[in-house]
Amino acid sequence: MISDDQRKALIEEKFLFLYGSKPSVWVQAPGRVDLMGSHTDYNLGFVLIQAINHNTWIAARPRGDSIVRIASLNRDGIAEFDLSHIEHAKDVTWSDYVRGVADVLQKENYVLKGFDGLVHSTIPFGSGLSSSAALEVATTEVFESLADWQIDPLQKALLSQRAENEFVGMTCGVMDQYSSAMGKAGCVLLLDCRTNTSEIIPVAPGLQVMICDTRAERNLTGSEYPERRAQCEEGVRILSGFYPEVHSLRDATLEMLTAQQADIDPVVFKRCYFVIEENQRVLDLAAALASGDHQKAGRLAVESFQGARDLFEIVTKEMIMMFDAIMGAPGAFGTRGAGGGFGGCLVAFVRSDCIDSFTEYVKQQYTRNAGIQAEVYPVQSASGASVLAIE
C-alpha cells in the first residue's frame, strides 16, 4: 500500500497543478468492514464493525467565495458547484457525495465556506468497504476545519448518512458512516443501530481479518438493495399487526415470524428470517471474538454467507467462487460477504500465522475458477475521521 509520504507528494503535486497553490487542510476518514450484520443496520439491529487502515484523504484550501471545486486522484474529472445553489452532478457523479454533505449541513444551518479540494482514497471502489461513506465523513471534516463550528463524531456520521439517503438516493443504514466517524484502533465496535451507541469489543489474539476482493463491482443505488429494504419493511408491517411491540425486525423473533408464515409472502418471509438470524449472529460473534473462540467465529461467518445466498439472495457467482477458494485455504476459520452484497469483498477470519499461505492459495484458486485477478490482503483496525497533522 502507498506510504503517507508518497500520498502527500502526489496530492501536493496535483493540487498545485489544478489550483496553483498548496493545500492548507488535510483530513482523513477510514473505510470499514462489517464483520457481521448484513442488512441489520436499517432494521435497527446490531452490527459488528471495524474501521480499517484503508482510508480517504481530502486536501483542501479555503476560497473567498461560495464555490466548491473538487477533484480526485482516483477518478477523472473536476466538479464545481455553488454552495448557494446545490444541484446534482450532470457528470463527475461521485461528487454528489460531497454535494450531499454540503446540502444537509446547510439545511441544519451550518455556515459553509467554499474550498478547492483534492481526494485520494486507498479504499477500493465498489468493493463493499464503504468508500462512499468515507468520502462523506471526510467532507464533513473539511467543512468543519474551515469553519468556526464543531460537530461531534456521532453527528458527523448521522449527517453523512442523511446525505447518502436524501441527496444521493441510497437508503443505507448508519453503520458505514458510524464506523468511519467513530472507529477505534485496536478493536471492533458492536453498534446498536436503534440507539446509535456502541460497545468496544476486544479481539483475542491469533485471528487475522482478511479482505478477499472478487473484483466484481457493486452498484447498490442501481441494484436490488432498495427492494430488500422494502421487503423487510413489509415483513414488519405484517408482524406489527399481530405483535404491537414489533417496530422493526430487531424486535421480532423466529417464533413470531413462523407463527404468521401463512400471512407473509414467501420471499418476504425468507428476507425476514435471514435478518432475524443475522442479528443474533452479530451478538454471538462479538462474544466469540472476545473469548478467542475462533472456530465458532468461523462457523458464524459461514452461516451468514449461506443465509445471504439462500434467504436474502445477495450473493453473486463470483462471491461463491471466492467462498469456495477461501474455505479450502490454509488457516481459514470461515468467511462471509462484506457490505450489502451483490459482489465486492468477502471478509475472512484466518489464523494469524497463515496469512501468506492463505493469500497465495486464495489468489490462485479464485483466478483459476473466476478468470479474475483477486485482491487478498490483511486489514487492521483504525481510528475514525480526523484532521491530519501535515504541513
pLDDT digit string (tens) for 93-148?
999 999 999 999 999 999 999 999 999 999 988 788 999 999 999 999 999 999 98
pLDDT at 194: 96
Q: What share of the chain has pLDDT > 70, as a percent? A: 98
pLDDT band at 385 (very low <50, low <70, confident <90, very high): very high
pLDDT band at 223 (very low <50, low <70, confident <90, very high): low
Beta-strand (E) ranges in the chain? Answer: 25-36, 46-62, 67-72, 78-82, 115-121, 188-192, 197-201, 207-213, 332-337, 345-351, 375-378, 386-387
Handedness of CA 203, 205, 207, 211 (dihedral sign): positive
- Say yes or no to pLDDT of 370 above 80: yes
**C-alpha grid cell for residue 150?**
464543531
pLDDT band at 217 (very low <50, low <70, confident <90, very high): low
Count of CA atoms in the C-beta half-sphere (13 A) of 235: 30
Query: Any idea which fold 4-201+382-387 has?
Result: Ribosomal Protein S5; domain 2 (3.30.230)
pLDDT at 179: 96
| Catalytic residue list contains 176 | yes
> What is the location of CATH 3.30.70.890 in the chain?
207-378
One CATH from 3.40.50.970, 2.60.40.1230, 3.90.1150.10, 3.30.70.890 for 207-378 = 3.30.70.890
CA-nearest of 136, 123, 150, 89 to 1 is: 123
Higher pLDDT, 181 or 170: 181
- Say yes or no to pLDDT of 225 above 60: yes
- Say yes or no to pLDDT of 212 above 70: yes
Average pLDDT over residues 89-96: 90
CB atoms within 10 A of CB 148: 7
Per-residue pLDDT tens over the stretch 270-282: 999 999 999 999 9
Q: Which residues does 183 contact at the CB level (< 8 Å), separation at least 6? A: 30, 32, 49, 50, 51, 189, 381, 382, 383, 384
> What is the location of CATH 3.30.230.10 in the chain?
4-201+382-387
Choosing from 34, 41, 176, 251, the catalytic residue is 176
Q: What is the pTM of this model?
A: 0.92
pLDDT at 219: 55
Answer whether 99's CB lies under 8 Å from 124's CB.
no
- Say yes or no to pLDDT of 170 above 90: no
pLDDT band at 390 (very low <50, low <70, confident <90, very high): confident
